[in-house]
Amino acid sequence: MKIIIVGIGKIGRIVTEYLANEGHDIVVVDIDAAIVQEAVDTYDVRGVVGNGANYDIQVQAEAERTDALIAVTESDELNLLCCLVAQKNGVKHTIARVRNPEYGKQIDFMHDDLGLNMIINPELEAASEIMKILRFPSALNIDTFAQGKAEIVEIKVPEESILVGKTLSALGRELEVSFLVCAVVRDGTVHIPSGGFVLRAGDHIHITAAASEIGKFFRKLKILRQRARKIMLIGGSKISYYLARELSESRLDIKIIEKDRERARELGERLPGVAVICGDGTNQEILREEGILDADAFVTLTGNDEENIILSLYAKTLEVPKIITKVNHISYYNILEKLDLGTIISPKALTANQILRYVRSLSDSITSEVKTLYKLVNNQIEAAEFYIPAETDYTGIKFRDLSLKKDILIGCIVRNKTVIIPHGEDYFRAGDSVIIVSTQKLKDLEDILSG
């Protein structure tokens, strides 16, 4: 596909990298000539210097032959204008990053009346991810599929856990829970395991299960933590606003610490059920005075990655039960994994994943459709949900008779609202939603078959 990306900031670079690696024909547009040249040299794409909302600049980028335009500049209004001009230039699909909470109630208008195909808000996406984690604090990450019916949950295997030293096939029988370990990360190496794989303490495992089975799994492991009730947010960012707004509706004890007096005042007015403290969240005395020792969850949401990491390390020394750290630099992932900080949230990566999923869906084959897509373990694994609309050459064939490529695992099937953890006697049917976990990128369900 031919794609124009307007705005080569942090998100623009990630999206450019992802889509260039997918083999798409990419043109990057930015007003900064040095940034454009850097993207051209790094990602082997074409570049145009100028205002992406300018009609002539879009013509120069060959918008009339473009399948999709993605506008991810720092300005919501410029992104929207880019998309409107692109439509007049004949671009088939338009995607805009829109961050201002004031536009949140106008999403339907933007879709229906302005004709935008996708509106994405990185801060709102990040807040939603954090909400999922706070629901199950025992998990490091939770990814949902099939409209919430199935989940992939990441946990770290504790010392002296009943999981240690057991093969995966033995665990399935012993725990009496319907789940599947679909990926294991050990010492930085990713494994797509078979039934004979033996778990060790410290392994990061990704399990697939019905949403209703996750709590049962945690109870069997004796690591189930109650939902966080006292939550401390450091930094009054847009993510803090979205997150506190949602959490306050559940009548939880929410506290935001924000050092900018005007921003603290604004949040206090917009979040009447939330305690907003004007203070420096990096000050240990203030954190103790405001109750960090009693907090169930500590979430660092300042605009500085290093500050967030240091604050989370401090919370770890105080043994706060759940720590969530926001970072924008994905390159920090391997370092943070060694620090064992718990859950890491990257709004930029979440946004890029959403855009990649949408672009993949545009090139669906007649045999399957991409519905959901996540990149896990610092982009080393993909978990993709495919929908099978009709019978195909591979439906009705038992899995034990299917020849799958290496490092591919069928995580689960959602059929008639029921989650099925597959075995050799199971098979695909028309109407199934199928979750595939792989170290390879899959554009179609047929890609899992060898030969």
Q: How far is CA 356 from the centre of its chain?
A: 11
CA–CA gap between residue 164 and residue 283 (Å, rounded): 40
What pLDDT was estimated at residue 71?
Answer: 97
CATH of region 230-320: 3.40.50.720
Three-state secondary-structure class, residue 131? helix
- Amino acid identity for residue 302 in this structure: T
**Fold of the CATH domain 126-221:** Alpha-Beta Plaits (3.30.70)
Q: Are 327 and 347 in contact (CB under 8 A)?
A: no
| Structural domain boundaries in the chain | 2-120, 126-221, 230-320, 363-448
Look at residue 147 in the predicted model and tell me its pLDDT: 86
Residues in Cβ contact with 269 at an 8 Å cutoff, skipping those fewer than 6 apart = none
| pLDDT on residue 370 | 85
Would you write out the chain's pLDDT as a tens digit for each of its 451 residues?
999 999 999 899 999 998 998 889 999 999 999 999 999 999 999 999 999 999 999 999 999 999 999 999 999 999 999 999 999 999 999 999 998 877 766 777 777 677 788 999 999 999 999 998 998 888 999 999 988 899 999 999 988 889 999 999 888 788 888 999 999 999 888 999 988 999 999 999 999 999 889 888 888 888 877 778 899 999 999 999 999 998 988 888 999 999 999 999 999 999 998 999 999 999 999 999 999 999 999 999 999 999 999 999 999 999 999 999 999 877 676 677 778 888 999 998 888 888 988 888 886 555 678 888 888 887 889 999 999 999 988 899 999 999 888 889 999 999 998 999 998 899 999 999 999 999 988 888 888 988 6
Phi-psi region of 34 (alpha: psi -120 to 50; beta: other; left: phi over 0): alpha
Closest Cα partner for 294 from 226, 248, 231? 231
Asked: is 363-448 a CATH 3.30.70.1450 domain? The reply is yes
Q: State the residue for tokens 């990419």.
A: 26
pLDDT score, position 451:
63
Concatenating the DSSP letter of every residue in 54-98 gives: -HHHHHHTTGGG-SEEEE--S-HHHHHHHHHHHHHTT-SEEEEE-
**CATH class of segment(s) 2-120:** alpha beta
Token code pair at residue 40:
């051209």
Domains 126-221 and 363-448 share a fold: yes
Dist CA 325 CA 310 (whole Å): 10
**Do residues 21 and 42 make contact, with C-beta atoms less than 8 angstroms apart?**
no
pLDDT value, residue 367? 67
Give the per-residue pLDDT at 265.
96
Amino acid at 412: C
pLDDT at 104: 67
What pLDDT is attached to residue 357? 85
Residue 373: predicted pLDDT: 86
pLDDT at position 251: 80
